[in-house]
Amino acid sequence: MAINLEMATLGGGCFWCTEAVFSRLNGVIKVVSGYAGGWLPNPTYEEVCSDRTGHAEVVQITFDPNVISYRTLLEVFFDIHDPTTKNRQGNDVGSQYRSIILYHNEEQRKIALEIIDELNKTKYHGKIVTEVVPFKEFYPAEDYHQSFYDRNRNYPYCRVVIDPKIRKLMTNHSRIIKIKTS
C-alpha cells in the first residue's frame, strides 16, 4: 500500500524549538529547519538574522495524514508558541521569529483560518497575529541547525527555552508522541 505523505511549513519562533517538538510526533516522517516567506533566494542564517530577507525561521514537516492530521499539527503549533506577539518569541526578536503558516493547498489554508478563528474566540480573544500565506519556496538551513536540540541538549538555550516546550508537548499531547523502542 502506497503512503501519500503531505508537507506542512510552519514558523513559530526559533526553528531549533519547533523542529525539536514536531520531530517527536507520531506520523511525522521528517522535519527540516530552514527559511521561507521572504524574497532572497538561498539565504544564509546570517542574512536571515539581518532582518532584511523577509524570511522566517521555519520547519518543513513531512507527515503521514493517515497517522496525524494537518489540524493536529496546527493544534500543537499553536500550543507551543505565542501567536500573539508580532516578530518575537520570548527573547528572540525580529521578523525571522514571526508566527507564520505557509499553506501548501487550499485545504491547509482553510484549516489554518478555522483554527485561528476558533482560538481567537476561545483563548486569544482576537489577538493572533500569525500570518497565513501561500507556500512558495523553502530553503534548508545550514547543516549545523538540523537536529540541533537532539545534538546539543546541554546547550543553555536548549535547557532554558526548548526543554520547557518539550515538557509542555509531553504533558498536553502525550497521546501523539512517538514511542522510542531503543
Q: What is the pLDDT of residue 1?
A: 53
DSSP 3-state helix, strand, coil percentages of the chain (rounded to 5)? 40, 25, 40
Q: What is the pLDDT of residues 33-87, one digit of tens each?
A: 999 999 999 999 999 999 899 999 999 999 999 999 999 999 999 999 999 999 9
Check pLDDT > 90 for residue 132: yes
pLDDT-based confidence at 91, cuts 50/70/90? confident
Q: What is the pLDDT of residue 87?
A: 94
Alpha carbons 52 and 48: distance in angstroms, whole number: 7
Q: What is the pLDDT of residue 70?
A: 98
* Alpha helices, H only, 26-146: 45-49, 70-80, 106-122
Average pLDDT over residues 90-113: 96
C-alpha pair distances (Å), 141 with each of 14, 36, 102: 12, 10, 17
Q: What is the pLDDT of residue 58?
A: 98
Average pLDDT over residues 148-152: 95
Q: What is the pLDDT of residue 182?
A: 44
- Please check whether residue 24 is in contact with residue 107, taking contact to mean a CB–CB distance below 8 angstroms: no
Q: What is the pLDDT of residue 144?
A: 96
Give the side-chain half-sphere CA count within 13 A for 24: 23
Q: What is the pLDDT of residues 10-27, one digit of tens each?
A: 999 999 999 999 999 999
Average pLDDT over residues 112-137: 96
Check pLDDT > 90 for residue 102: yes
CB-based contacts of 142: which residues, under 8 Å, 6+ apart? 44, 45
> pLDDT exceeding 70 applies to what percent of the chain?
97
* Alpha helices, H only, 36-147: 45-49, 70-80, 106-122
> Residue holding cell 532572497?
40
* Alpha helices, H only, the chain: 15-22, 45-49, 70-80, 106-122, 148-151, 156-157, 163-172
State the angle between helix axes of 163-172 and 70-80 in degrees (0 to 180), rounded to the nearest 10.
Answer: 130
On whether the pTM is more than 0.85, the answer is yes
Which H/E stretch holds residue 58?
strand 56-63
C-alpha pair distances (Å), 106 with each of 102, 110, 115: 11, 6, 14
Alpha carbons 166 and 143: distance in angstroms, whole number: 22
Catalytic residues: 14
Check pLDDT > 90 for residue 7: yes
pLDDT-based confidence at 3, cuts 50/70/90? confident
Instruction: For the chain, give the mean pLDDT.
Output: 95
